[in-house]
Amino acid sequence: MRAAVIHAPHDIRVEEVADPVIRQPTDIVVRVVLSCVCGTDLWAYRGVAEFDPGQRIGHEFIGVVEDIGADVMGCSVGDLVVVPFVWSDGECGYCAEGLTTSCEQGGFWGTNGSDGGQGEAVRVPCADGTVVRLPKEAVSDRRLLTALLTLSDVLGTGHHGAARAGAGTGTTVAVVGDGAVGLCGVLAAKRLGAERIIALGRHRSRTDIARTFGATDVVTERGEAAVEAVRELTRGRGVPAVIEAVGTEQSMWTAVQIARDGGSIGCVGVPHGSGTGFDLSDVFERNIALRGGVAPVRTYIPELLPDVLDGVIDPSPVFDRAVDLAGIPDGYKAMEERTALKVLINY
């Protein structure tokens, strides 16, 4: 079969690799029907995040169960399933608490010799804890299938940021970042009942989606000017619930500056470069909570899935480009150059 392999920064190739097979009785093999490229993949692509040269890549996919291990109870061959970006056993103490990203048997696609989501098939460990079945008819509904794909990462991650920031009925929420996660943060905040949602972003095509998703205000400025704009919108007070969906030192600084004293920042942008510049003094003086982290999206799927199936929320507009398997390198390039927001991969 063919799959994407990362050899070096800016060197992603689609190659012939071994077909996946059941190794553990809790494994399944999934034939991928739709996957995509994530902003997180770009950190490896840029050489900022570590990877093993030659490892597989991609962590968001929907597919059809092709083979199942002897102990798998939760799905059958032929089922359509969505797979979260971390596999998890569903049985350990962390999974029981809903923190599936800390699962003791868990792992991230592509690491330690595991398969990646950008390929024709994937061996999925801990299948019963990991995958969630979808209605089979969704496979022929392109828009719905695309919307469901976001359950594997960006929708659940946006929801994690919104929930940890404290978004709820009647709240004011700000979202730093207009990538797919930031946009899903807007959608999730709206779904949780936020009354006012301030989206910070510079790209018109993206902030237009933010408005579709529920943003009531858009701030296109950056740095000090962005902080001033948000403070003007909030009578100088700042925002009680901030979703940080970028992960750079600059975006983190912005999130802190626009937060209201006593507020919370739901951090879902993977930190990059914040090891040397984050000053705890400001959050301490103003009692701002830093919450969030790697989103346990598996936990959120049962809550979010019905609303996606019913069309209450439609995250599918975060995808604005599609490639086939051979086009994956072009997909990365487009996202890196910001000519695409998020790239679908067709099979």
Which residues form the interface with a copy of itself (CB under 8 A)? 93-94, 97, 99, 101-102, 164, 237, 252, 261-262, 267, 270-271, 274-281, 283-294, 296
List the end-to-end C-alpha distance of the chain, in Å, as a whole number: 12
Residues 89, 76: Cα–Cα separation, whole Å: 18
- CA atoms of 248 and 182, how far apart (whole Å): 14
- Give CA–CA dist 239/315, Å, rounded: 24
Name the residue nearer to a copy of itself (CB basis): 50 or 137: 50
Task: State the DSSP code for 190.
Answer: H
Instruction: Give the shortest CB-276-to-a copy of itself separation in angstroms.
Output: 7
Residue 271 phi/psi, 5-degree rounding, is -60, 130
Minimum distance between the CB of residue 221 and a copy of itself, rounded to whole angstroms? 24
Closer of 70 and 284 to a copy of itself (Cβ) = 284
Q: Cβ of residue 285: shortest distance to a copy of itself, in angstroms?
A: 6
Contact criterion met (CB below 8 Å) for 332 and 325: no
Shortest gap between Cβ of 16 and a copy of itself (angstroms)?
Answer: 34
| Closest CA relative to residue 176, chosen from 208, 210, 153 | 210
- DSSP label of 42: H
CB of 105 to a copy of itself, least distance (A): 14
Q: Which residue has the tokens 């205000």?
A: 217
116 or 161: CB nearest a copy of itself: 161
The one-letter code for the residue type at 78 is G
Strand partners, 13: 5
The residue (of 118 and 299) whose beta carbon lies closer to a copy of itself is: 299
- Cβ proximity to a copy of itself, 29 vs 38, nearer residue: 38
Our CB check for a copy of itself shows the closer of 42 and 289 to be 289
Distance in Å, CB of 296 to a copy of itself, minimum: 8
Distance of CA 64 to the CA centre of its chain: 21
Instruction: For residue 141, count other CB atoms closer than 10 A to its CB.
Output: 12
Minimal distance in Å, beta carbon 295 to a copy of itself?
9
Whichever of 156 and 292 has its CB closer to a copy of itself, that residue is 292
Q: Containing H/E element for 217?
A: strand 217-219
Backbone φ, ψ for residue 293 (5° rounding): 140, -160
Which amino acid appears at position 250 of this protein? Answer: Q
